[in-house]
Amino acid sequence: MRRHSTLVDVLLVLALFSCSPWTVCSSLHCKETNMEEIRPHSVSITEFGAVGDGITLNTKAFQNAIFYLNSFADKGGAKLFVPAGRWLTGSFDLISHLTLWLDKDAVILGSTNFDDWPVVDPLPSYGRGRELPGGRHKSLVYGRNLTDVIITGNNGTIDGQGSIWWSSFRNKTLDYTRPHLVELMNSTGVFISNLTFLNSPFWNIHPVYCSQVTVQKVTILAPLDSPNTDGINPDSSDRVCIEDCYISTGDDLIAIKSGWDEYGISFGRPSTNITIHTLVGKTRQSAGITIGSEMSGGVSEVYAENIHFFDSYTAIRIKTSPGRGGYVRNVFISNVTLVNVDIAIRFTGSYGDHPDDSFDTNALPVIEKITIKDVMGEKISRAGLLEGIEGDNFSNICLSNINLNVSSSFPWNCTYVRGYSELVSPQTCEPLKETIFPQHYADCYYSNHLQSSRDRNRGAWLLSW
């Protein structure tokens, strides 16, 4: 069995970077960003007294270096170079027009002293800390109201040393919500690439109220039993592109969010135009791609393709609840390969988990126009567990060209959902059995986003000849 799992891991990682019968390699890619961009001013963290021995606390060195580089923000920007070493630090803030560059064998280590992670205000779209009322610990690498921020390197590492936080969570001794590894707020033009993220105390990468965000070629790792170590969580953000990533964590690999109950409804900032291309990973606790459960500001225009999940609990999931309000619509997921997954597709309409008792039970979410197509799966326990909300059916759910090798005698369980299907094996549930073509094609969400990208690139290729 171990030999089989190892072979699957290798095959899927190879598929991340190559075309094969299991993958349909398309021309949908993130916008090119030059991570080698020459900033006219560059300093090393060592110039500010930092010591890379894994013991010396370097928070002041990071803060002083970035304070110094801020004077060059309007002169073409600056680069902070982190050389090989183990650089222990608490939270520090980034600035606009900055490149944070980690060299090979450079490790930024999060302090294991909670006091080195200051407490900041809760997000307005959440109304409180995600885990506890009140504030939350600031992320290790933090920024707000920024423009043009690059976090990259030669596959250096940011390690949150999260085990002490996980223990405190399990022992119920936390005073505030745990910190993320990286959080950017109200920022535009964010690029994160070519790094490894390890052992986050909480979520790993959290762009919130951001626009034009690219996360590309990153590896995110945490133990499969670590609590709430989500990989990448775009939150009330738009024009987000996630590409060529490997994620193995204790919770959702990617979770798209937009605020929590009445706070998210009031704040009213949706997540939209989210692209996920070429993602490989596993999670035993949750799902590979999740929308929600905090989606009260709305989520729309989500495009995902070239997805490979293995040894996982759930592959694709939408989570919501009465009281959430908001909507999830216009979601297009295609070209998915699954191996050893418990539930391939799961919708949960009664997730619960509210910030307080002030939510409106009549604020029902709208879930509509969700298309999932071109899915192949081996060693699947259940094909689908699709649970909508009584009196608030999830509608126009469209399944196409799905072939799953399922062990359960009851592969599908559907309640309070309506939609259409074609070429689905094992045969789907009754509410989705009506065929898509010809009369219901317009009811499904077949995005031209992917096709237009292919057409543009095909035209460019022809012109080059």
CATH number of the domain at 38-202, out of 3.50.50.60, 2.160.20.10, 3.90.1010.10, 3.30.360.10?
2.160.20.10
**Mean pLDDT, residues 388-416:** 97
Q: Which helix (H) or strand (E) holds 116?
A: none
Look at the alpha carbons of 75, 33, 461, 304 in this order and tell me if their dihedral is positive or negative. Answer: negative
In tens, the pLDDT along 217-269 reads 999 999 999 999 999 999 999 999 999 999 999 999 999 999 999 999 999 99
The full DSSP string for 32-50 is: P--TT---SEEEEGGGGT-
Local confidence band at 464 (pLDDT 50, 70, 90 cut-offs): very low
The tally of CA atoms less than 13 A away on the side-chain side of residue 137 is 29
Local confidence band at 444 (pLDDT 50, 70, 90 cut-offs): very high
Residues listed for the chain: 465
Q: Which helix (H) or strand (E) holds 455?
A: helix 449-464
Concerning whether 357 is annotated as a catalytic residue, the answer is no
Local confidence band at 31 (pLDDT 50, 70, 90 cut-offs): confident
Q: Which is the catalytic residue, given 148, 159, 238, 251? A: 251
The tally of CA atoms less than 13 A away on the side-chain side of residue 102 is 25
**Mean pLDDT, residues 408-419:** 97
> CA torsion 256→333→338→340, rounded to 10°?
40
Backbone angles phi, psi at 81, to 5 degrees: -95, 130
What global pTM score does this model have?
0.91
Backbone angles phi, psi at 454, to 5 degrees: -60, -45
Q: For residues 128 and 110, what is the distance between their CA atoms, to the nearest angstrom?
A: 24
Cα dist from 289 to 85, 208, 292, 320, 377, whole Å: 34, 18, 10, 14, 16
- Report whether CATH 2.160.20.10 matches the domain 1-30+252-465: yes
Domain with CATH 2.160.20.10 in the chain: 1-30+252-465, 38-202
Q: Residue with structure tokens 């993220």? A: 197
Nearest to residue 449, comparing CAs of 375, 394, 371, 397? 371
The full DSSP string for 388-454 is: -BTTB-EEEEEEEEEEEEE--SS-EEEESEEEEEEEEES---GGG-SB-TTTTGGGS---SHHHHHH
The tally of CA atoms less than 13 A away on the side-chain side of residue 226 is 28
